[in-house]
Structure 1
Amino acid sequence: MADLKLTGARKSFGPIDVLHGIDLAVRDGEFVVFVGPSGCGKSTLLRVIAGLETVTSGEIHIDGARVTHLPASERGLAMVFQSYALYPHMSVRRNMAFALENMGLRPAEIESRVARAATMLRLTDYLDRKPKALSGGQRQRVAIGRAIVRDPKIFLFDEPLSNLDAELRVATRKELAALHAEIGGTMIYVTHDQVEAMTLADRIVVLNAGRIAQVGTPLELYNHPSNVFVAGFIGSPRMNLLPAMVAADDGTLRLGIGDREIALPRPASGLAEGQSVTLGIRPEHVEIAPDAGMLGVSVDLVEQLGGESFVSATAPGLPEITLRQHGQSRLRRGDVIAISFTPDHLHLFDATGAALAGPDRPGA
């Protein structure tokens, strides 16, 4: 296995800049997930690492060796594609063995590697089947097995689960996590699904418009987003982001939200009266207040999931606010309720979208 380092990696297609100077280090044995909205550059970045695209400028090192202009076939990486890319006329066994045969390995070594991968991926009973006789999940496991047998320096996954139905996605995701725990390989995984990112990654790289918005563990990004983009992207449902203004600065923070002025028990941390900020609060930290509460809202939608419920509500002058409730909600569309925010879980962002220091944030 190997580590990876990108320094100032840029990629342009003609006049269009797709990657804007990516600096990133992936440690040996780490599972790193690239996540972001469509068009943010995550698949292009993976293809640049693989050698399927050449960087316009910048450097790429694998295990300390410069591979910036090395062709894909000489980088020692293995890529698993969204489309499986299996040979339809070959059996599962031949699909996994084919690359090894081209590498000139001895038949005994090829058989050993294929058998080991098939055991890991529970494919032993399907080795003589053609891809058309397999389910979508089994085909994806064959594609992963074809990568495993090559014993690559780094595994690259380009949205490998996007063609699977919801149940298979969950099952295959668990298998990938177990596979990483077993073989300990360096893995880089691209997805647009932030739930996959949260459940699989040692670290997540959040990309936005060809730039890295933040890098960190799943819980670091969830609990301490460094900017409004990450705050709104990581988490399902997304963080509530409300426009606010600092109404006073007297040791506590008072925010004007909509037509209400709300006192929040946290240090102002250098905020100035009249300053525009964005207040962030996750749905699980919005509470229904028994009496007057902090803010009155009208219920627009209740999503009942059985074990939990999501309530969407609105108030004049504010964007939609989402609440997460444990169990089954009794609320109905049109109900008017009072809500309050858990003070210890508030996030504040300045006019540029950058996170402001608070009691649990560096710089406080």
Structure 2
Amino acid sequence: MAGLSLSGVRKSYGATTVLHGIDLDVADGEFVVFVGPSGCGKSTLLRSIAGLESITGGTIAIDGADVTGLPASERGLAMVFQSYALYPHMSVYANMAFALENMGFKRDEIDKRVKRAAGMLRLTDYLERKPKALSGGQRQRVAIGRAIVRDPKIFLFDEPLSNLDAELRVATRKELAALHAEIGGTMIYVTHDQVEAMTLAHRIVVLQGGKIEQVGTPLELYNRPDNLFVAGFIGSPRMNLLPGKVVRSGAVALGEAGHEVACATGSLPAGASVTLGIRPEHLALAAQDGGVPLAIELVERLGGESYLYGASPGLPQITLRLDGQSEHQRGSGVALAFPQQHLHLFDDAGKAVRV
């Protein structure tokens, strides 16, 4: 296995720049996830690493060696795509063995590698089947097995679970995590699904507009987002982001009524426009005369937890998560408390205010 280093990687299509100077180091054996909305450049970055796209500027190094000018076939990587891309006329065994045969491996070594990968992926009983006789999850495991047998320096995954239904996505996600724990390979994984990113990654790279917004462990990004984009993107349901103004040091006013919330404001002056962030699970219920009023518009009861969605004058929709089975009804009202230790504050440029 190997590490990866990107330095000033840029990619342009004519006058349109897609990647704006990406700098990133991935350690040997690390599982890194690229996440971001559609069009943020995450798949283009992955394809550039693979050698399927030539970059406009910068360098790409694998295991300390500059591979910027090398074709994909000479980089020692293996890629798993969203499409399974299996040969329908070949058995599972033949699909997994095909690349090794083309690389000139001996039959005994091919057999050893294929059976080892099949064992890891619970495909041993399906080696003689054709792809049409497999479920979607099994087909994706064959595609992953085809990458494993090559023993690559780095595994690249481009939204590999997008074609699976919700139940299979969860099951296959668990299998990928277990697979990484077993083989310890360096893996780079692209997804638009931040839940996949949170559950799989050692570190997450959040991309927006061809730039890196933040890099960190899942909980670092969840607990200390650097800016409004990361705060709103990481977490499901998303963080409540509420406009307000600093009224004095340590206090922010929210909504039309100017309800004051105690919050560390750093060096921001009175009158500064800010955005106050708090996650749905961190909001608390307060006495009716002691908090920010919320008119409930929708209640979702999921058994072990309930979500209340509501409105407060001058504020966007607020989401509150409560443990258990809430008795609150649509049309009723509650008051909200904002525990200071769970608040995030962002200045008018969208940057986190650190104190």
CA distance in 2, matches of 1:200, 1:351: 33
CA distance in 2, matches of 1:139, 1:353: 43
Instruction: Letter of the 1:296 partner, please give it.
Output: P
Q: Who is 2:275 aligned against?
A: 278
Q: Who is 2:340 aligned against?
A: 343
Q: Who is 1:25 aligned against?
A: 25
1:151-190 mapped onto 2 (5 Å cutoff):
151-190=151-190
The CA deviation string for residues 268-305 of structure 1, in whole angstroms up to 9 with x for no partner, is 31110110111000000111213323211111111221
Q: Who is 2:5 aligned against?
A: 5
Q: Who is 1:52 aligned against?
A: 52
Instruction: Give SS of 2:350's match.
Output: coil
Residue 197 of structure 1 deviates from its aligned partner by 0.2
CA distance in 2, matches of 1:299, 1:59: 53
Instruction: Give SS of 2:177's match.
Output: helix
Pick aligned residue for 1:257 from 254, 279, 301: 254
Instruction: Give SS of 1:8's match.
Output: strand
Instruction: Letter of the 2:123 partner, please give it.
Output: L
Instruction: Give SS of 2:155's match.
Output: strand
1:191-202 mapped onto 2 (5 Å cutoff):
191-202=191-202
Instruction: Give SS of 1:147's match.
Output: helix
Q: Who is 2:324 aligned against?
A: 327
Instruction: Letter of the 2:351 partner, please give it.
Output: A
Instruction: Letter of the 2:331 partner, please give it.
Output: G
CA distance in 1, matches of 2:308, 2:38: 27
Q: Who is 1:311 aligned against?
A: 308
Q: Who is 2:42 aligned against?
A: 42
Partners of 1:283 and 1:324 within 8 A in 2: yes
Instruction: Give SS of 1:260's match.
Output: coil
Instruction: Give SS of 1:44's match.
Output: helix
Q: Who is 1:91 aligned against?
A: 91
Residue 259 of structure 1 deviates from its aligned partner by 2.5
The CA deviation string for residues 151-176 of structure 1, in whole angstroms up to 9 with x for no partner, is 00000000000110111000000000
Partners of 1:3 and 1:28 within 8 A in 2: yes
Residue 260 of structure 1 deviates from its aligned partner by 3.2
Residue 265 of structure 1 deviates from its aligned partner by 4.0
Residue 264 of structure 1 deviates from its aligned partner by 3.9
Instruction: Give SS of 2:298's match.
Output: strand
Residue 63 of structure 1 deviates from its aligned partner by 0.5
Segments of structure 1 that go 5 or more residues without pairing to the other structure are: 358-363
Segments of structure 2 that go 5 or more residues without pairing to the other structure are: none
Instruction: Letter of the 2:318 partner, please give it.
Output: I
CA distance in 2, matches of 1:106, 1:118: 18
CA distance in 1, matches of 2:257, 2:343: 17
Shift in alpha-carbon separation, 1:113–1:45, aligned structure 2, 3 A: same
Q: Number of residues paired by the alignment?
A: 355
Q: Who is 1:70 aligned against?
A: 70
1:197-276 mapped onto 2 (5 Å cutoff):
197-249=197-249, 253-276=250-273
Matched, 1:300 2:297: yes
Partners of 1:225 and 1:355 within 8 A in 2: yes
Partners of 1:11 and 1:55 within 8 A in 2: yes
CA distance in 2, matches of 1:355, 1:273: 17
Q: Who is 1:121 aligned against?
A: 121
Instruction: Give SS of 1:205's match.
Output: strand
Q: Who is 1:142 aligned against?
A: 142
CA distance in 1, matches of 2:286, 2:326: 15
Partners of 1:247 and 1:261 within 8 A in 2: no
Q: Who is 2:15 aligned against?
A: 15
Residue 77 of structure 1 deviates from its aligned partner by 0.2
Partners of 1:207 and 1:213 within 8 A in 2: yes
Residue 331 of structure 1 deviates from its aligned partner by 1.6
CA distance in 2, matches of 1:262, 1:315: 11
Q: Who is 1:353 aligned against?
A: 350
CA distance in 1, matches of 2:121, 2:109: 19
Partners of 2:265 and 2:353 within 8 A in 1: no
301-310 or 32-41, larger mean C-alpha shift = 301-310
CA distance in 2, matches of 1:266, 1:353: 17
Partners of 2:288 and 2:334 within 8 A in 1: no
298-307 or 259-268, larger mean C-alpha shift = 259-268
The CA deviation string for residues 84-116 of structure 1, in whole angstroms up to 9 with x for no partner, is 111111100000000000110110000000000
Instruction: Give SS of 1:55's match.
Output: coil
The CA deviation string for residues 56-94 of structure 1, in whole angstroms up to 9 with x for no partner, is 111100001000111000000000000011111110000
Residue 231 of structure 1 deviates from its aligned partner by 0.1
Partners of 2:248 and 2:270 within 8 A in 1: yes
